[in-house]
């Protein structure tokens, strides 16, 4: 509730109020009553308007009247003259002075309703300004949150004009910003380390210099295992708008800390996948670390491995973003490791904090919990599904990922249409990765399809992707044009150009079979 100063009230010239006794500086509401004891019906912080009808014959009772008002938290009295009393009674002046109540005269010509209406309008204006200020402060916190948790807490301390601190359950200081000679860190640590309560709390205490300090604390959990305590301390009591801003701060802090926790889990998961691929027989320490990482996905150590291939690195990156969004929305844990076309982990980059981050890639190896349903890929990838090929395993123990299995996943993915996700089976052409077969395929690929690669690079064309799509569509022009999103005449002209450059006849089923093997071979993905 907003507070209005008596100074503002007295400055309303049309009300013609005459201050008689000084008292508190502010009040919160105003009401008229002629009861001898109105305390049951008045709110703390109010002004009482009266003409003194109940005391017309006993003005000596004003002393007890003022004492009752003071005890009820009333801030002042507006006394109307010209009816029961021609002037403000001396007994009331004395009583108001003794109790520290504000007292002012209301001339008979001024209706109480005009005072009440003026105060009500001012309260509405104050309420509107406070709501606007709260919205501005929330926007300021939103912007500060983009720079990290410490910037967020620092901005909140500025907006609240209060000391703010955030601590972890192990007593670690996450962020601390003293203000006005106050330090909220001890309260934040106490809230974070006391696991007996998670409800917000508020208390006040008096410093040696007599200053009353108000403190509010909040406790919130991140993924059921990380507990944080937030404390704010200020010389003045926190109003409802300040408490609302603190709640907004808690929400933003929770999002940042949860995102940080999730980011670290993803980094550890990617490292675990990379270690699994690079070390077929990990040592005891590495095995324990990997086991702990994979157990965050599934406690029984079984996972579903999935390899996705996009038609471009940009769409591959969007697919990974879609997976992250789906995981956040459903609470699903997963690991992601970008791969190069040979199935090897891609090189990582580093941020200024030396934290590895995944680069954009058109292929990625994913590890999901056994409960994930990859038979309906649109639930995970949405509209991006039409630009992806995916192959996935049945639930297996994480240690069962082998070189042959890793080779079979991209082979099966590349051998199917865009927008398709299929479960890996024993019919997948694993033999394409045999070293002798690869040498023969590489030589034949260079001889037969090398010209297409060179032509596409020189003319920024798409002959090789068109050939691959055409063969996977069983040489069907309509299906090829639909998948590529171009007209059938365009597909036909491209096929004619391909046959001319490569000197092949794609009407021959044997020639098509040979070229199809080349198009889905590991060499074709380099």
Q: Which part of the chain has CATH 3.40.1390.20? A: 4-122
Q: Where in the chain is the domain with CATH 3.30.450.40?
A: 146-261
For residue 364, CA distances in Å to 182, 302, 450 come to: 51, 19, 26
pLDDT at 141 over 70: yes
Give 523's pLDDT tier (boundaries 50, 70, 90).
Answer: low
Examine the pLDDT at 349 and tell me if it is beyond 50. Answer: no
Q: What is the rounded average pLDDT of the residues 361-376?
A: 83
The predicted structure's pLDDT at residue 351: 33
Angstrom distance (rounded) from CA 489 to CA 278: 47
Q: Is 85 exposed, middle or buried (0-12, 13-18, 19+ CB in 10 A)?
A: middle
pLDDT in tens, 11-43: 999 999 999 999 999 999 999 999 999 998 898
Element (H, E) at 220: strand 212-222
Topology classification of domain 297-428: Alpha-Beta Plaits (3.30.70)
Dist CA 273 CA 269 (whole Å): 6
Does the domain at residues 146-261 carry the CATH identifier 3.30.450.40? yes
Six-digit token string for 133: 């200020």
Distance CA 130, CA 138 (A): 12
Q: What is the tens place of the pLDDT at every residue in 89-115?
A: 999 999 999 999 999 999 999 999 999
> Mean pLDDT across the chain, nearest whole number?
81
Strand partners, 368: 304
pLDDT on residue 348:
39
Q: Give me 255's structure tokens.
A: 């999002």
> Which ranges constitute the DSSP H helices of 146-239?
149-160, 185-193
Q: Where in the chain is the domain with CATH 1.10.10.2840?
A: 434-525
Query: What confidence score (pLDDT) does residue 299 get?
Result: 61
- Asked if 335 and 367 touch (Cβ cutoff 8 Å), the reply is yes
Q: Work out the average pLDDT over 113-137.
A: 90
Q: For the chain, where do the domains classified as CATH 3.30.70 start and end?
A: 297-428
Considering Cα of 309, then 312, then 313, then 316, what sign does the dihedral take? negative
Topology at the third CATH level for domain 4-122? 3.40.1390
Average pLDDT (72-76) is 95
pLDDT score for 375: 81
The pLDDT assigned to 64 comes to: 95
Q: Does domain 434-525 have CATH number 1.10.10.2840?
A: yes
pLDDT at 194: 75
- Would you state the pLDDT for residue 430? 53
| Burial degree of 458 (CB within 10 A; 0-12, 13-18, 19+) | exposed
| Mean pLDDT in residue range 118-124 | 92
Measured CA distances, 255 to 202, 262, 347, 388, 524 (Å): 24, 10, 29, 30, 43
Max intra-chain CA distance, the chain: 122
Burial (CB count <10 Å: 0-12, 13-18, 19+), residue 396: middle
């Amino acid at each position: 509730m907003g507070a209005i100063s008596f100074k503002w009230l007295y400055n309303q010239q049309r009300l013609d109020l005459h201050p008689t006794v000084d008292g508190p500086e502010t009040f919160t509401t105003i009401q008229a009553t002629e009861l001898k004891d109105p305390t049951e019906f008045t709110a703390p912080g109010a002004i009482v308007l009266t003409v003194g009808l109940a005391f017309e014959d006993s003005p000596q009772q004003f002393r007890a009247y003022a004492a009752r008002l003071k005890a009820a938290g009333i801030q002042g009295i507006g006394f109307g003259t010209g009816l029961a009393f021609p002037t403000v009674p001396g007994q009331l002046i004395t009583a108001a002075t003794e109790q520290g109540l504000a007292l002012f005269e209301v001339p008979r010509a001024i209706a109480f309703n005009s005072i009440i209406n003026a105060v009500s309008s001012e309260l509405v204006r104050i309420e509107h300004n406070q709501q606007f200020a709260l919205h501005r402060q929330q926007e300021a916190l939103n912007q500060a949150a983009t720079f990290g948790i410490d910037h967020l807490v620092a901005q909140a301390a500025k907006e609240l004009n209060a000391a703010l601190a955030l601590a972890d359950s192990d007593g670690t200081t996450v962020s601390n910003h003293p203000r006005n000679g106050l330090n909220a860190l001890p309260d934040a640590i106490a809230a974070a380390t006391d696991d007996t309560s998670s409800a917000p709390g508020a208390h006040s205490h008096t410093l040696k210099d007599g200053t009353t300090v108000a403190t509010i604390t909040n406790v919130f959990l991140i993924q059921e295992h990380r507990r944080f305590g937030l404390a704010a301390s200020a010389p003045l009591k926190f109003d409802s708008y300040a408490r609302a801003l603190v709640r907004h701060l808690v929400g933003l802090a929770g999002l940042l800390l949860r995102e940080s926790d999730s980011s670290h889990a993803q980094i550890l998961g990617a490292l675990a996948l990379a270690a699994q691929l690079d070390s077929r027989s990990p040592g005891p320490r590495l095995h324990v670390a990997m086991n702990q990482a994979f157990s965050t996905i599934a406690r029984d150590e079984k996972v579903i491995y999935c390899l996705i291939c996009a038609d471009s690195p940009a769409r591959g990156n969007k697919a990974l973003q879609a997976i992250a969004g789906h995981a956040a929305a459903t609470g699903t844990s997963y690991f992601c490791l970008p791969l190069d076309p040979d199935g090897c982990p891609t090189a990582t980059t580093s941020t200024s904090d030396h934290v590895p981050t995944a680069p954009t890639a058109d292929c990625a190896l994913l590890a999901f919990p056994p409960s994930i349903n990859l038979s309906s890929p649109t639930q995970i990838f949405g509209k991006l599904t039409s630009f992806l090929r995916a192959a996935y395993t049945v639930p297996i123990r994480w240690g069962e990922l082998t070189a042959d299995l890793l080779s079979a996943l991209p082979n099966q993915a590349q051998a199917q249409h865009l927008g398709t996700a299929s479960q890996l089976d024993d019919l997948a052409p694993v033999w394409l990765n045999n070293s002798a077969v690869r040498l023969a395929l590489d030589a034949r690929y260079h001889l037969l399809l090398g010209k297409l690669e060179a032509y596409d690079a020189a003319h920024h064309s798409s002959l090789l992707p068109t050939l691959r799509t055409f063969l996977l569509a069983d040489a069907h022009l309509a299906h090829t044009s639909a998948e590529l999103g171009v007209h059938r005449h365009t597909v036909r002209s491209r096929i004619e150009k391909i046959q001319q450059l490569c000197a092949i006849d794609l009407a021959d089923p044997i020639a098509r079979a040979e070229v199809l093997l080349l198009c889905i071979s590991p060499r074709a993905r380099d």
